[in-house]
Amino acid sequence: MYARRRHVYFAMMGTCIGLFILAWSVVRLWSVPVAVGMCVVAMLIPPVAAIMANRRGPDDRWWDDPSGDPKSDEWWDELDGKR
C-alpha cells in the first residue's frame, strides 16, 4: 500500500512540475490566460497529492491501533517501548 501511494504522489508532483514548465515555456507563447490557468491547476495538485499520500489504508497499522492479534500487539508494544 505504501509503495502505491508513494508512486501516485510522485506522479502527481511530476505532473505539477510538468504543467508549470509547459505553461511558461510553450503555452505562454500562444495564450497567457491558458498558461495562467495551467498554473492554477498545478497549484492545486500538491495539497491533493499530500492528502492522498498520507491517507490511511485499510490494512495500515497506525499509531496505537490494536491489530486484534494479541501476539502482534505485544510485539508492537515492546517495539514502541511500552513494556
Number of domains in the chain: 1
Question: What local confidence, expressed as pLDDT, does residue 54 receive?
Answer: 84
pTM equals 0.65
On average, the pLDDT of the chain sits at 85
Q: Tell me phi and psi for residue 67, to 5 degrees.
A: -90, -15
Which range of residues forms the domain containing residue 72?
2-80
pLDDT in tens, 15-35: 999 999 999 999 999 999 999
Most confident region among 39-43, 54-58, 64-68 by mean pLDDT: 39-43
CA distances from residue 50 to 4, 8, 11, 13, 42 in whole angstroms, order as listed? 14, 10, 12, 9, 14
Q: Which three cell numbers stand for residue 82?
A: 511500552
